Amino acid sequence: MGNYRMLARRCVETEMPVMVKIQELMRGAENLMSLAQGVVYWQPPKQALEKVKEIVWDPLTSRYGNDEGLPELRQALTEKLQQENNLTKSSIMVTAGANQAFVNLVLTLCDPGDSVVMFAPYYFNAYMSFQMTGITDIIVGPGDSKTLQPDADWLEKILSEKGDKPVPKLVTVVNPGNPSGVFVPKPLLQRISDLCKKADAWLVVDNTYEYFMYDGLEHFCLEDNHIVNIFSFSKAHGMMGWRVGYIAYPTEVDGLAEQLLKVQDNIPICASIIGQRLALYSLEVGPEWIRERVKDLVKNRELVREALSPLGDDAVKGGEGAIYLWAKLPDKYSDDFEVVRWLVNRHGVVVIPGSASGGRGHIRISFGGLTQADCEIAAQRLQKGLKELIEVGMVQ
Ligand SMILES: Cc1ncc(COP(=O)(O)O)c(C=O)c1O
């Protein structure tokens, strides 16, 4: 037996993943309904899965592929980026999901000791990626109290402060957001981008939920030599376990491709070949397939919104995109994890504590992982639980 001091401080001082804590909480509980994990209930397109079945015996499926991704997939993604995202000057690296894409970028763009900026409530895995790569100066900016959109005035101040501290090296935004589902409109993201450019800071935008837009809002991407975009196949194509995502990075930046390759070669070498093939076949099915499924989530969102009504209208924010709503618990319940534990044990429904995203006293509710029929049951339980919480308290 060694001791704790033998472990890397970088890792020891990184938060424990909230999903690991939640899985522990759920262990042994029967008949639980989950509005917790950020997943979708559908599987990849049937046609694509059928095609993948045919290539398992192909020897190439079992070999390593190019570090940056299968040429056919990168070609198809180049076309997709041009047609759907208006990104015409970006190069592509395929990764083992968007989370690995983010770690690649932190390792490539930041040094230990650099400052970085994210906005509350933030995506917990991005926070942990900073922590475990030695970025200890993580500056968390505020969101607007009504809309939760990032506060660009605050960012302007942070990026122009001339003190002993270096200007932040990287700013990151998830659009639409996790854990809030808040959408950052184009003029605001453009302003954030302009501020980053002026300060020589990178802007990393995570577009994992690009297709998950509601109420007529349209997703968009920005492109420039200080912007890197991240994408994922996990939610859109129901491919969570296949682990495929990609980075669209500025081709014109000298040396960026080489540095990214060093990191890639030392972590996955390449994303799984069969996963990349499934991604390619799924792309061939076209984006309409995704949009049809996303359209159906609107009903789930409304069920969950209704379930949150005991907290009051002002308490619930977000949900313009992605698969999340973000809700404030009454002031006396600042220990959100205790409320989550109580909801699990007494009401058989699980959500994510907001403190995992820097939002103590809040909860994140995912409406993507259940079919409408199951979502109805989960939402009823949540509503009953919240009503009891407000009217009586956390009775056992
Ligand atoms: C904003 C965001 N980025 C990345 C990921 C992880 O995606 P992937 O499965 O592609 O690693 C998630 C998953 O919840 C997410 O919400």
The residue to which tokens 């922590």 are assigned: 131
CA of 243 to the centre of ligand 1 (A): 10
**Is residue 318 within 6 Å of ligand 1 at its C-beta?**
no
Average pLDDT, the chain: 96
CA of 208 to the centre of ligand 1 (A): 6
Q: How far apart are CA 77 and CA 90, in angstroms?
A: 10
CA of 232 to the centre of ligand 1 (A): 7
pTM of the model: 0.97
**Is residue 99 within 6 Å of ligand 1 at its C-beta?**
yes
pLDDT value for 164: 73
Pocket test for ligand 1, best of 94, 123, 242 (most atoms within 8 A of CB): 123
CA of 69 to the centre of ligand 1 (A): 19
Q: Please enumerate, as own/partner, the contacts of 24-27 that have beta carbons within 8 Å and a separation of 24 or more.
A: 25/340, 25/341, 25/344, 25/350, 26/344, 26/350
Q: From the alpha carbon of 123, which atom of ligand 1 is closest?
A: 1
Q: In the numeric block, which tokens belong to residue 135?
A: 């970025």
| 150 in Cβ contact with 205 (< 8 Å) | no
pLDDT value for 163: 72
Q: How far apart are CA 6 and CA 51, in angstroms?
A: 48
pLDDT value for 60: 96
Nearest to 177 by CA among 238, 101, 139, 123: 123
CA of 365 to the centre of ligand 1 (A): 16
| 198 in Cβ contact with 282 (< 8 Å) | no
Pocket test for ligand 1, best of 39, 178, 183 (most atoms within 8 A of CB): 178
Q: Give the closest residue (by CA) to ligand 1 atom 16.
A: 178
Q: Is 238 left (phi over 0), alpha (psi -120 to 50) or beta?
A: left
pLDDT value for 2: 67
CA of 249 to the centre of ligand 1 (A): 18
Count Cβ atoms below 10 Å from residue 131 Cβ, excluding itself. 16
Three-state DSSP class for residue 346: helix
Q: 355 vs 218, 277, 362, CA distance in Å?
A: 30, 38, 7
Amino acid occupying residue 386: L
Pocket test for ligand 1, best of 119, 232, 242, 357 (most atoms within 8 A of CB): 232
| 183 in Cβ contact with 205 (< 8 Å) | no
**Is residue 245 within 6 Å of ligand 1 at its C-beta?**
yes
pLDDT value for 1: 59
**Is residue 206 within 6 Å of ligand 1 at its C-beta?**
yes
| 207 in Cβ contact with 77 (< 8 Å) | no
Q: 332 vs 145, 328, 361, 390, 393, CA distance in Å?
A: 19, 11, 8, 10, 10
**Is residue 40 within 6 Å of ligand 1 at its C-beta?**
no
Q: What does the pLDDT profile of the chain (396 residues) look like in tens digits?
A: 567 789 999 999 999 999 999 999 999 888 999 999 999 999 999 999 999 999 999 999 999 999 999 999 999 999 999 999 999 999 999 999 999 999 999 999 999 999 999 999 999 999 999 999 999 899 999 999 999 999 999 999 999 976 777 899 999 999 999 999 999 999 999 999 999 999 999 999 999 999 999 999 999 999 999 999 999 999 999 999 999 999 999 999 999 999 999 999 999 999 999 999 999 999 999 999 999 999 999 999 999 999 999 999 899 999 999 999 999 999 999 999 999 999 999 999 999 999 999 999 999 999 999 999 999 999 999 999 999 999 999 998
Q: Where are the beta strands (DSSP E) in the chain?
A: 33-34, 90-95, 115-119, 137-141, 170-174, 202-206, 227-232, 245-250, 316-317, 324-328, 349-350, 352-353, 362-366
Pocket test for ligand 1, best of 95, 180, 207, 208 (most atoms within 8 A of CB): 208
Q: In this structure, are strands 316-317 and 245-250 parallel, antiparallel, or unpaired?
A: unpaired
**Is residue 304 within 6 Å of ligand 1 at its C-beta?**
no
CA of 340 to the centre of ligand 1 (A): 22
